[in-house]
Every structure is written in C-alpha cells, then in structure tokens.
Amino acid sequence: MDDEDPTTTDTESHVSADDDSPTVLVTAGTGTVGRHVVAALADEPVDLRVASRDPDRARETLAGDEHVEIDESALDGTAPDAVEFVAFDLGRPETYYPTLSGVDRLLLVRPPAVSRVERDLFPFVDAAARMGVAHVVFLSVLGAEKNPLLPHRRVESHLTDLPVDTTFLRAPSSVRTC
C-alpha cells in the first residue's frame, strides 16, 4: 500500500468482484432501528457489513436479540453470505478506510452523543463520498428540514452537497435510534 491517504480516492461505485451484490454498511447495527435493518438485509442478495466499536460484542448482541431473527450461520461467519462485522469509531479516522472500503450503500445513524456533527460526523461522510459510496440513507427526524438548530438538518444539508444519492428517513423524534 502506498503512502497516500486511501480515503482520497476518486468517487466510483463498488460491487463485489465475485457477484453483482452491492455492499451495504450499517452504522448503529445493534440499535433500535439498525438491528431490524440488519435482520432484513441478512436474507437479501447484498454483502452486509455492520460497523461497531466492538464487532464481537455487536455479533453477540444480534445473535442474542429476541426481537429480530437472523440465521445463526449469517452471524457466526459460517454462511457464504455471512454478515461482516468491522471495527469502527467516528472518533478514530483510521477506522474509516477499512470500514468503507468497497461499500456501495450506507445506512447512517447519528449517535445521540454526537451533536457536533461538523467535527464528529462530517469527516466520515466526506470519506464515504471520496471512497465511492453511491447512496447514503440517513436516519433523521421529522421536521429536520424546518429546524436549523437540529444537528439532523445540518447532516441532511451536508449530505445534499456531496456527490452521493441520498435518502432521508425522517422518523418521529420519540424513536430511539441507538
């Protein structure tokens, strides 16, 4: 690997070399919404990646979750289309490249503790765009487009300025996302 920052590559869409399945990255994959997204996508023709500060704990959490059904072989790595768990931390930019490498689509959930999105979230979404993520689905809140004080609005605005397709899921603010 050369000395260049791998997150500064040209924008391009990625598809797995051995099939036409897109790679989908889910952040907050063990959260209230993310775990259901992971369960739904585990049976779909996608290469599914779950980003977590502690991949082993994330795998155990999903395996023991009575509210979602995911085939055990998809979680333990024995299935050919197993869920991939990767170490990721917004506060550690060195985790961005391995997390985003080859990703086509991203489900982005803003952790509730991250209110300074310009400092703590934008570098990650900027890296995603540079690395060729083609579509970002952002879990936002109802009314975000009308309230400039909400960090969700700033994230939506920033995503709109990037060279990626976007979808904003505006859930009621009563939905706990992580």
Q: What is the pLDDT of residues 135-149, one digit of tens each?
A: 999 999 999 999 999
Higher confidence at residue 157 or residue 3? 157
Q: Looking at residue 80, what is its pLDDT?
A: 61
Q: Looking at residue 82, what is its pLDDT?
A: 83
Residue 101 has pLDDT above 60, yes or no: yes
Q: What is the DSSP string of 84-139?
A: EEEE--TT-GGGHHHHHTT--EEEEE--TT---HHHHTHHHHHHHHHTT--EEEEE
Q: Looking at residue 174, what is its pLDDT?
A: 65
Residue 9 has pLDDT above 90, yes or no: no
The CATH label, of 3.30.450.40, 3.40.50.300, 3.40.50.720, 3.30.499.10, for the domain at 19-171 is: 3.40.50.720
Q: Looking at residue 68, what is its pLDDT?
A: 84
| Percent of the chain residues past pLDDT 70, beyond the cut | 85
Q: What is the pLDDT of residues 113-162, one digit of tens each?
A: 999 999 999 999 999 999 999 999 999 999 999 999 999 999 999 999 99
CA distance 90 to 53: 9
Q: Which residues are CB-neighbours of 177 under 8 A, at least 6 positions away?
A: 28, 31, 32, 33, 34, 109, 110, 112, 139, 171
Q: Looking at residue 66, what is its pLDDT?
A: 87
Across all residues in the chain, what is the average pLDDT?
Answer: 87
Residue 8 has pLDDT above 50, yes or no: no
Q: What is the pLDDT of residues 39-60, one digit of tens each?
A: 999 989 999 999 999 999 999 9
Q: Looking at residue 10, what is its pLDDT?
A: 38
